Amino acid sequence: METPDFPRDLERLFNPESVAVVGASNAPGKWGFMMPMNILGGGYRGGLYMVNPNEQSVLGLPTFGSLLDIGAPVDLAILTIPAKKVAGILREAASIGVRNVVIVASNFREVGAEGTDLELEIARIANESGITIVGPNTMGIYSSTSSFCALGAPVFPRQGEVGFISQSGNLGVQLLSWGRRRGIGFSRFVGSGNSANTEISDYLAFLGDDPNTGIILLYIEGIDDGNRLLEVARRITPHKPIVALKAGRGEQGRSAARSHSGALAGAFDLFKGMFEQAGILIAGSTEELVDLAAALSSVPLPRGDRVAVMTMGGGWGVAAADACDREGLELATLSESLVSELDSFLPSFWSRRNPVDIVGNVKRSSHFRVLDSLAKSPDVDMVVAMGTLLGKGFFADNILNTVVRPVYFLARLRTTRLVSFALAITRGLSKSWSRRGERDQEGSGGIDPSEMSKWTDSAIVNRMKALMEDERKPIIAVSVNEEESSFLRLKGSRLYIASSPERAIRVAGKMVAYSRFRASAGPEPDAPDLEGDSG
């Protein structure tokens, strides 16, 4: 299909002042029901017209017999009608000057010759009338700036700077939902579907210029216009990261993609080489796409590949070092002065090298000082911090596990010891309290109760954020608990919390690759300063 040559108005697609839903319905579960429900649920403030000749009203809003009856400008028409009725409605839309149409129906190109004919017909109508078709076979669009949630599923993304173009509607919408739980904010989403007359590259060009979009995600099964896509991408990647998940890599994947979106996927290796040259990051899996979106929207880009790893235990340090080997990152060499700085407050048996193993030292102030020292070192480009995040359940778990459980079992198994146990604990704690604040570098004196106020997630989150602002270096926290890391991320807003050291360092490796690409692409005076955006 040739790229149609008409001026588009994607600004109106993403920020429509008025929207008509053709095929609007009161039947729960139908597309014509879900679309307007989700538009209402998203808090859209513009005009919303329900088109249905057989109903007096839909969802409490008055209906119109057809688009022609609305008698007011319509910026966007959403068609929730079967494939065979689309062409006729499209002609009506053209006649009242609609410039953007979302077509939900499937049964087009992806189902064979008849569907392809239908798709070519609607593309011809749209091209002649200057209409941008989103889809067909799409689950819709989302736009933060107009709180516009025209999606086929009740997913309401957080507002943010991630723009997302997905050839698969279901996968795209589920990734929005996954992103929501991970605390990722989105600016725009579009399910490109079959791309009847609007290609991924068209949306990409818009997002490239969109001041609300700082990072762009792509889910691609196959593309008709690879060269144009690369051309558009090359204009964007020097100032805005693009992350692509390319599906249909192997033989079975390609075949599945053909059956799904009708897309003809090319050889992955060729694709990969071209994309990397254009500065596009390739995500290896759905999970990695989400990880990269979280990281790129949370932490500044590293200026080099030297990683400092902080860990509470050696094993995690080895896992991180292995991951650095795998991703081609260098473990920063600690200078003598940095080692003696750390010597001054860490237990004598700390690793004295990178990974910085603080050997189970639970002094909270030491954690902060290690983070500070590493982040401020000129030998370090980024910090991966393990074991310092506590999670929302930390205090509850700790009290349950360290106090309630022993008491419970004492009561059941050694009842006569309960009173003296309580006394012992009380005495121990009061002794700790009387020695509060005393310097105990070896960390063997137990917990310092005067530090209690520092034992919160907010404390560490705020310290990390301040450090990133000051040093403009990424600090990636690791918490091997996706539930907790999502929670912390939500609280800490711009903080990337990885759920394993391997995932942290994989993401770091891709960020380094992109940072190098940016450096080689040279400075762009007009480019938004993404690194400076980390506060």
Which one of the spans 6-14, 124-132, 298-306, 400-408 is the region binding its own copies (CB under 8 A)? 400-408
What's the Cα-to-Cα distance from 299 to each of 168, 220, 241, 295, 534, rounded to whole Å? 28, 26, 13, 6, 6
What's the Cα-to-Cα distance from 26 to each of 29, 53, 60, 108, 478, rounded to whole Å? 9, 13, 9, 26, 47
d(CA 348, CA 331): 22
Q: How far apart are the first and last CA of the chain?
A: 45
Instruction: Give yes or no for a contact between 374 and 383, defined as CB atoms under 8 angstroms apart.
Output: yes
Q: Which of 114, 117, 231, 322 binds its own copies (CB under 8 A)?
A: 322
The reply on whether position 398 binds its own copies by CB under 8 A is yes
Q: Shortest gap between Cβ of 439 and its own copies (angstroms)?
A: 15
The reply on whether position 171 binds its own copies by CB under 8 A is yes
Give DSSP secondary structure letters for 304-368: SSEEEEEESSHHHHHHHHHHHHHHTPEEPPPPHHHHHHHHTTS-TTS-SSSSEE-TT---HHHHH
In 3-state terms, what secondary structure has residue 269? helix
Q: Shortest gap between Cβ of 180 and its own copies (angstroms)?
A: 10
Q: Which of 2, 5, 7, 27 binds its own copies (CB under 8 A)?
A: 27
The reply on whether position 26 binds its own copies by CB under 8 A is yes
The reply on whether position 18 binds its own copies by CB under 8 A is no
The reply on whether position 362 binds its own copies by CB under 8 A is yes
Q: Kindly state the tokens that stand for 276.
A: 């990397």
Q: Shortest gap between Cβ of 124 and its own copies (angstroms)?
A: 24
With CB under 8 A as the rule, give the number of residues binding its own copies.
122
The reply on whether position 143 binds its own copies by CB under 8 A is no
Judged by beta carbon, residue 103 or residue 467, the one nearer its own copies is: 103
Q: Shortest gap between Cβ of 292 and its own copies (angstroms)?
A: 14
Judged by beta carbon, residue 209 or residue 417, the one nearer its own copies is: 417
The reply on whether position 144 binds its own copies by CB under 8 A is no
Which one of the spans 43-51, 271-279, 335-343, 458-466 is the region binding its own copies (CB under 8 A)? 43-51
Q: Kindly state the tokens that stand for 126.
A: 């749209």
Judged by beta carbon, residue 416 or residue 520, the one nearer its own copies is: 416
Helix (H) or strand (E) holding 61: strand 61-64
Which residues does 260 contact at the CB level (< 8 Å), separation at least 6?
110, 168, 221
The reply on whether position 106 binds its own copies by CB under 8 A is yes
d(CA 180, CA 424): 47
The reply on whether position 15 binds its own copies by CB under 8 A is no
Residues in 239-278 at the binding interface with its own copies, rule: CB under 8 A: 247-253, 255-257, 259-261
Q: Which of 111, 490, 513, 521 binds its own copies (CB under 8 A)?
A: 111
Q: Which residue has the tokens 């235990």?
A: 313
The reply on whether position 432 binds its own copies by CB under 8 A is yes
